Structure formats: structure tokens, C-alpha cells
A and B are shown apart, each in its own frame.
Chain A
Amino acid sequence: MSRTHTRGLPAGEVVLGLVIEHPDRGFRLERRLEDRFASARFAYSTAYSALRRLEKSGLVRAATGTPELGDSGKEDPADTEAVGGDVVYEATPEGVEHFRAWVRSSSNAPVLREELHARVALCEPRDLPRLIEVVHMEERVCVAELDRIRTRMLAEQQSLDQSPARELEWSRLMDRAVVHGEAGFWGGRITQLARLRSYLEELRPEAERRAREQHRHAHRRQGGVG
């Protein structure tokens, strides 16, 4: 589901997340993608092609019945001509599941900033605790990177300690500058993640409250049907 990558951000999952957040027409999804993820600089009509792929994989479908459009009305006639312009897309249960798995996933390799931020941006209240965990794991991945650099640096230093040369070769000196740059990069990343996690931690009670409310709403709706 991640063929259209822009600087590491998979368009498929992001568009799917937008659809789950709120079912919408293609051109409006295109706009929401631009508005919400401007820093990812998706190419024009990314949402359309993503929707086509999502539909083919059975993760989204054309909505049946009267869709609840938030601030509907102003439709761009030029856009309605485009592919899927007047179809309102909604997520299938498989789509919801796929998206949730993506938000909750973690890996042993460092995640790109854009991807992590997209997961935060589209995360539901009930998934916040898991996302905090994911950020924490990411911090550990970065500490591991820093640790690798440290190990290399110490090994290098030990070999230097044994060599009789008084002055470092120029290339070695530059290598050391790079090592510093790398360590600084991972250090900065760790700091950034720690701050993000602190922010999410502060939202924890709020997320719990909202998740409870959503749960109650869902129950009431089910009760009304049955």
C-alpha cells in the first residue's frame, strides 16, 4: 500500500487515514492531503491515484446511502470532472484494520520523521497509548544508533592510541568531524522524540476521556439499531 512515497511518507496509508477520519470526495481528499501534509510535498493528484489503489485492494469503497459531509456545499466543478470526483469514499472494515495496524506498527530501524508525524496526526484517541510506546521505541532505536557510533569511535581511538604518530592525519580528523555530526544528529533526534513523547503523555487523560465517549456513542448507535 506504499507505492507513492514522497520523502518516505506512504500516500496510501495517509489518504486511507484521511478517509477514516472523515469520508469524502476525491478532490476534497486531495485538498485535505495538501493542507494537512504540506511538508511532505505530495505530487498533484496523489490522492486520486492512492484512492484508486486503495479501492482496488478493497480498503476503501464508494459510500452507500447519504454520506455525512462535514462542511459540504462548495464543490469545484472542475474537480468533479476528475476521476472519482463525485464519489464519496469511505473505509471498509479491512481498511480500518489496515490503517490501525500501520499506526500501531513499530520497527527496529529508524522511522522517517514524516511518517511518524503522519501517524500522530491521524491517530485515534484509543491508539494514543500505543503511539506513545511507538515513540518510546523509536527513541531506543536512536540510542542504539548513537551507541553504534560510539563503539566505532572508541575502536578507532584505541587504534590511534597505539600508533606512534603525534598528529592525526587530515582524513582521520575529518572522519572524526563526521562522527560528531552523526552523534549530533541522533542526539537531536532523541531530544525531539523525547519532547514529542512528553507532549503525547500530557494528552493521555484527554485521549482516555475521548476514547470512552466514542465507545459509549458506538454502543448507543448499536443499541438503537438492534
Chain B
Amino acid sequence: MKRWVDGRRKGAPPHGGRGGGHAGELLRLTDVCKSYRRGAQDLQVLREVSFAMDPGELVGVIGVRGQGKTTLLRIAAGMESADAGSVCFAGRELAGLADRELSRLLGSEIAWAGKTGPGMRMRLLDYVAMPLLVGKPVRVYARAREALERVGAQGCGEQDWESISDWERALVEIAQGIACAPSLLLVDDLTDTLGMREVDELCALLRAISQESGMGVLMSVSDAEATLWSDRIMKLASGRLTEGPGSDTGKANVIDFPDLGARRDAQRTGTS
């Protein structure tokens, strides 16, 4: 039996509704702000970003490079904390969790697929199995093999990162992501090294996995083409998030975040 199918069960919040957000909701960000210190300057990367997603949803975030997509994903994963606002995963406020709990969450219920690779020479089956070593390692290789099979990259298990193509690398990253049957998978810019038809195929694969397992996927992309397969499109520009209309889920969360300064100015000058 394929383990990630269990994701549907996992997708339901274990502590329904606690810590804000309604029952059944997988992830909710509310007024998240984040800035980094660059020399003497404070660089504001995210400004009052709010959105929510459900289990089984595939959400694509587009935005120009360097405008906070990866930061948004890292905060959703609990890899980084927000300066202000709240991140609520399956009913749990991430800010309220101890580091130990956070790192256990990542690699069991939340998974990450970037395109970094192992960074050292190793068998890719070991690479895919790595997150499964967190907590209690059970059936580690079997689950890693199943994940590779699900994405159609079973042939890569015995190879190393340097010897496979960009397409296979993307598949291996997704395999590593789904190996632990997470309820939330964060996919960071996996598509930008791929050909256009490969982008189609990769997104169709993510869509199929999320629909069969109930796993939510939050995916950042630089090309608009990669959002064609998602349930929703969100745009991140200069730290603010814009959600396209026609949200299938009909969730009436905040759609847009106009700059506060601009709003003030508009009031001051009035409209003509």
C-alpha cells in the first residue's frame, strides 16, 4: 500500500479549530510581516500577508524573484518565524511550538521540496529517505522507494545527483517531499529549470498526488505557466499578496493588501 494515500487522514487537523482558523483548514497565515536586516537597512520582505488553504488544495504563488516567495514558504513551513502576525497549521499556532516540536513537524506533517539536492555525493535513495529519519524511523527504505515510484523516478534511486537530468532532479525532490506523507508540501521554484512541457507534467503530477492524498501543496513559481494547474493563483509583489478572483473554495479571506501609505494618500487627496 502506498503510504502517502494516508495523507487524507492526516489532512484533517488533529486539534480541529484551535488557535484560530476554521475546522478542516490546513494552513492560515494572518497579517504576517517579515523583514531582514541588511546593513543599516531594514528590508521588509512580507507585509501583512494573509491567506488560507484547505487540504488537497494546490496553490500557486507567482512573483518576481527576490520578492519574498521563498520567505513566505519558509514561514509557512515553520523554518522561519514571522516578525508579526500568526501562522496556524492544522489548528496549531506555530509560534507557540517549541523548536523541538517545530523540527519534528517538518519532515512528518510538513515537507519541503526545493532544488538544492543533497549537496554531497550520495545515493538518491538515501537522499529521499533522509527526512524519514526524523522521529521514529520505520520502513525507511520501503517508503522512500514507494515515493520514487509514485513520481516515476524509481530508476534514480541508485544514482547520484550529478548524474541525473533537471527533470529527474525535480522528481527526486518531490519524492523526498512526499516520502513522509505530509499533509502540507511546500514546493519552492522547482519548475524554472524545466522545459515547458515538463512544467505541465510536473504540475499535473503534483495535482494528482494532492488530489489522491489530500495533501495541500503551496508552490512558488517564477513562470505563470506553472500556475495553470493550481486551484488558486496568488501573486506576491513587493511583499504584498494578491489573490486572483474566482477562488474555487469561496473562502472570503482578505484578497488584497494595498499599501497603507497609499491608502492614506488617497484619502488625503480625495478622488476627482
Contacts and interface: CB of A to CB of B under 8 A. Distances in A.
A150 B238 contact: no
A172 interface: no
Contacts of B99: none
Contacts of A154: 228-229
A126 B42 CA distance: 27
A221 B64 CA distance: 46
Given A184-B223, A194-B64, A195-B64, 12 more contacts: A129-B269, A146-B224, A147-B233, A148-B246, A153-B228, A179-B228, A183-B225, A183-B228, A184-B225, A186-B224, A190-B224, A194-B67
A143 interface: yes
Interface string B222-262: 01110111100101011000111110000000001011011
Interface of B: 62-64, 67, 196, 200, 204, 223-225, 227-230, 233, 235, 237-238, 242-246, 256, 258-259, 261-262, 265-266, 269, 271-272
Across the A-B interface, the 10 shortest Cβ-Cβ residue pairs: A187-B224, A129-B265, A147-B244, A194-B237, A143-B244, A183-B224, A183-B225, A153-B228, A150-B228, A129-B262
A188 B245 CA distance: 19
Nearest to A176: B200
Contacts of A191: 64
Contacts of A22: none
19 contacts: A101-B272, A133-B262, A136-B262, A139-B235, A139-B242, A143-B235, A143-B243, A144-B244, A144-B246, A147-B245, A147-B246, A150-B229, A153-B228, A157-B229, A183-B224, A188-B224, A194-B67, A197-B238, A201-B259
Contacts of A97: 272
B237 A139 contact: yes
A126 B269 CA distance: 8
B151 to A, nearest CB: 19
Secondary structure at the A interface, as helix, strand, loop or mixed, is: helix
Interface of A: 97, 100-101, 104, 126-127, 129-130, 132-133, 136, 139-140, 143-144, 146-151, 153-154, 157, 176, 179-180, 183-184, 186-188, 190-191, 194-195, 197-198, 201, 204
Contacts of B225: 180, 183-184, 187
